[in-house]
Chain A
Amino acid sequence: MALALSPELPLGDWLHQLDDLAARSAGFFLRRPVVLDIEGLQISRPELKEFIDELSRRNVRVIGIEGARPSLLGADMPPAMSGGRATQDIEEPIAEAAAAAPDSGGSEPAPAGQPEPQPVRPVPSMIIDQPVRSGQSVIFPEGDITIIASVASGAEVVAGGSIHVYGALRGRAMAGSMGNASARIFCSKLEAELLAIDGLYKTAEDIEPHLRGRAVHLWLDGDAIKTETLN
């Protein structure tokens, strides 16, 4: 996931710290997908609801909640997740694995809740041939995003797979946003405000000065984002 937040009690103080952080890095949480980890947090349902509303008032978009007792969650709240993936999606890779091996005898029953096995499909990708402008978001959790133009300052690209920018990358790029450590980011001119792979991120200040303006390739090695110039 792009970012996991683990709030602590009392929530008021914690929100205060969040505001502090947000004030120091303007727009950091703005429209970023966030997972709330409330494992071990003593909190009632109305308190949780109020807390999520407080976050959304700060433009923090909670897309899932991790470590919550089922009784805490309701239909008006983000879904339960575990390990950064939506729990209801866990079946999917198994279903696809089964479909990818059609000759395995056919005796395996399709998993419950998957009435029709998905046919074999290449990894989906999205191609954008116009500039991504300030204030715009391109979100494609299913796979790679290729942009044959620039990504402006204040724009955002979120891909489940890798991100390729044949132009200047001036905004934010988050690859592997659905939990994919092998996702990579490529761009022909690095001027990004934020780079993230599988939830690990680098802000503009963390980017080595000699990489600025260069064609760069970024990948994840353990918990570190590695960089290398292209050409």
Chain B
Amino acid sequence: MGKVVVVTSGKGGVGKTTSAAALGAALAQRKEKTVVVDFDVGLRNLDLVMGAERRVVYDLVNVIQGEAKLAQALIRDKRLETLYLLPASQTRDKDNLTAEGVERVIGALKKTFDWVICDSPAGIERGATLAMRHADVAVVVTNPEVSSVRDSDRIIGLIDAKTAKAERGERMDRHLLLTRYNPNRAERGDMLSVEDVLEILSIPLLGIVPESMDVLRASNIGMPVTLADSQSAPAQAYLQAARRLAGEDVPISIPGEKRSLLGKLFGWRAA
């Protein structure tokens, strides 16, 4: 049985889709069979970020409505044979996502994939709650900025209360992925520090992704950043995060950072 991971944040524009694609690719690069599922019905973007936008035939809603088989809707990545995409529908209404339909699709994906990465839409409405509903693990994407931190706190509360795991009385593992982190601004005190965010949200840290042109460039050319340039700082951050997600004990660092700053990082709890 594969593991289901929801990538969520509450707030829009913090890097959920970029992170879902990068983590999915990073796990697939470990030769583990991975599918990334876009839950943002009506505003799909994962296909663009993963460079599959010309190849979408069927989508998640087609599968839920029984108009296509799951195998027909899955798009295999051209560069990585262990990486798949299940796109969202661009034309359908999000009411077509039914709770039973989502449960069925996730259940089927778990049987054939090692990892099922659910890319949640922004907000706390239906799409977001369905994306997290059947997850085993949550990755909460947060920018070091007050509104993002507060929305993440709200989402963590929902993860603790409104998921299938919570209803069974279990606790879902939640990890913090800090994105758009700018070490210079943090140094000057113009940005919430890693410690601040960790103290407020009190969940373990999965990784710190520095703000970088490489992220923009990767999405321009339609490649997950870990594939576009695996040596770049954000790619290293996502590759590290994927290893932690897979249970490896990797010390937290900010890739691309000066060595001297590393001293500060001791004492953070890795995920």
- Chain A positions near chain B (C-beta within 8 angstroms): 130-131, 133-136, 149-150, 152-154, 168, 170
Contacts and interface: CB of A to CB of B under 8 A. Distances in A.
Interface string B20-48: 00000000000000000000000000000
Contacts of A130: 160
Nearest to B151: A134
B263 interface: no
Most chain B CB atoms below 10 A, which of A135, A136, A168, A170: A135
A59 B154 CA distance: 19
Contacts, number: 33
A152 B160 contact: no
A154 B154 contact: yes
Q: Please provide the 3 A-B residue pairs with the shortest distance between their CB atoms, ordered closest to farther.
A: A133-B157, A134-B153, A134-B154
Contacts of B72: none
B150 interface: yes
A136 B151 CA distance: 12
28 contacts: A130-B160, A131-B153, A131-B202, A133-B153, A133-B154, A133-B156, A133-B160, A134-B150, A134-B153, A134-B154, A134-B157, A135-B153, A135-B154, A135-B157, A135-B158, A136-B157, A136-B161, A149-B202, A150-B202, A152-B150, A152-B153, A152-B200, A154-B150, A154-B153, A154-B154, A168-B199, A168-B200, A170-B200
A201 to B, nearest CB: 22
Interface in B181-212: 199-200, 202
Tell me the dominant secondary structure on chain A's binding face.
Answer: loop
A87 B69 CA distance: 62
A150 B196 CA distance: 13
A133 B152 CA distance: 9
B200 to A, nearest CB: 7
A151 B156 CA distance: 13
Nearest to A149: B202
Nearest to B158: A135
Interface string B128-162: 00000000000000000000001101101110110
Contacts of A149: 202
Contacts of B202: 131, 149-150
Contact of A150 (B150, B151, B157, B200): B200
B13 to A, nearest CB: 19
Contacts of A154: 150, 153-154
A193 B161 CA distance: 24
A138 to B, nearest CB: 11
Most chain B CB atoms below 10 A, which of A131, A133, A150, A170: A133
Nearest to A130: B160
A149 B200 CA distance: 10
Contacts of A134: 150-151, 153-154, 157
Contacts of A153: 150, 153
Nearest to A189: B199
Contacts of B150: 134, 152-154
Contacts of B200: 150, 152, 168, 170
A93 B269 CA distance: 49
A130 to B, nearest CB: 7
A128 B154 CA distance: 17
Nearest to A167: B202
B189 to A, nearest CB: 16
Contacts of B154: 133-135, 154
Contacts of A168: 199-200
A135 B151 CA distance: 9
Contacts of B199: 168
A168 B202 CA distance: 12
Interface in B210-244: none
A131 B149 CA distance: 14
Contacts of B157: 133-136
Given A134-B153, A168-B199, A168-B200, 11 more contacts: A130-B160, A133-B156, A133-B157, A134-B151, A134-B154, A134-B157, A135-B153, A135-B154, A135-B158, A153-B153, A154-B153
A118 to B, nearest CB: 30
A152 B151 CA distance: 11
Contacts of B151: 134
A168 B196 CA distance: 12
A217 to B, nearest CB: 22
A13 to B, nearest CB: 34
Contacts of A136: 157, 161
A157 B93 CA distance: 38
Contacts of A170: 200
Most chain B CB atoms below 10 A, which of A134, A149, A170: A134
